[in-house]
């Protein structure tokens, strides 16, 4: 009788342990509030081997194979992907070509550059960056502006240093444009039928930037 009880107790313990170990683990969190993640990944969304390897080596933020599979291609002109990080951030990954393309007769390869924001800030349009297309750090110059826009935003306005602006289409939650001396991104979201304007200030290396609100 004691032996039978012991066997039953052991079975109960093993069953309990099994119930714990078989419990489904939480799925990789995907920034589902971005429409670009709603569809299953297509072959064209896949990261290049170089970019995937660089992300897997990253420690801050950190990426695993599950995050690599979540990547979505978002930029049409230059290679770029939107991808969730393991720490809950959302990242825009791009291949940036060097301003000086050749050194000592050898062509310099593009480098993967990662810009990240917490999901709530990315969904508010704060995931945006610029890189200058000129080697000068003191004069106004053309810059490549890339960013992520919330769902429902079809266009954004990129404002230059003296108030001039250019309207850019948003495709797959992202936009990209080359503009002279950009200082801000402006867009409008709609909630319950009410439009809300947003302005995101940009950080550039131009020394003469002056933003005029209009």
45 C-beta neighbours (distance < 10 Å), count: 19
**Average pLDDT estimate for 44-62:** 92
How far does CA 18 lie from the centroid of its chain? 39
pLDDT at 33: 79
On the question of a cis peptide bond just before residue 59, with omega within 30 degrees of 0, the verdict is no
Domain boundaries, the chain: 35-201
Query: Which one has a higher pLDDT value, 63 or 30?
Result: 63
**Average pLDDT estimate for 12-23:** 36
What would the pLDDT profile of 103-149 be if each residue is shown by its tens digit? 566 766 667 889 999 999 999 999 998 877 765 555 557 888 999 99
Would you state the structure tokens that stand for residue 34, as one six-digit string?
């971005």
CA distance 89 to 53: 19
Pairing mode of beta strands 155-160, 142-148: unpaired
pLDDT at 110: 67
Would you state the structure tokens that stand for residue 5, as one six-digit string?
């009880």
pLDDT at 135: 58
Give the residue ranges of DSSP H helices in the chain: 2-21, 49-57, 65-69, 119-122
Percent of the chain with pLDDT strictly greater than 90: 50
């Amino acid at each position: 009788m004691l032996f039978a009880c012991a066997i039953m107790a052991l079975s109960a313990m093993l069953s309990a342990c099994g119930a714990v170990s078989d419990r489904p683990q939480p799925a990789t969190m995907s920034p589902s509030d971005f429409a670009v993640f709603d569809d299953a990944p297509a072959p064209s969304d896949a990261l290049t081997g170089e970019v995937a390897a660089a992300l897997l080596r990253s420690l801050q933020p950190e990426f695993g194979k599950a995050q690599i599979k979540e990547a979505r291609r978002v930029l049409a002109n230059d290679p770029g992907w939107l991808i969730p990080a393991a720490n809950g951030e959302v990242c825009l990954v791009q291949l940036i070509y060097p301003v000086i393309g050749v050194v000592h007769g050898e062509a310099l390869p593009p480098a993967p550059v990662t810009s990240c924001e917490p999901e709530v800030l990315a969904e508010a349009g704060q995931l945006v960056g610029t890189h200058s297309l000129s080697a000068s750090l003191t004069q106004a110059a053309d810059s490549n502006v890339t960013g992520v826009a919330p769902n429902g935003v079809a266009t954004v306005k990129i404002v230059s240093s003296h108030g001039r602006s250019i309207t850019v289409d948003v495709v797959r939650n992202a936009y990209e444009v080359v503009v002279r001396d950009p200082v801000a991104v402006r867009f409008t979201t709609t909630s319950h039928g009410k439009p809300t304007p947003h302005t995101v200030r940009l950080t550039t290396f131009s020394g003469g930037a002056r933003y005029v609100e209009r």
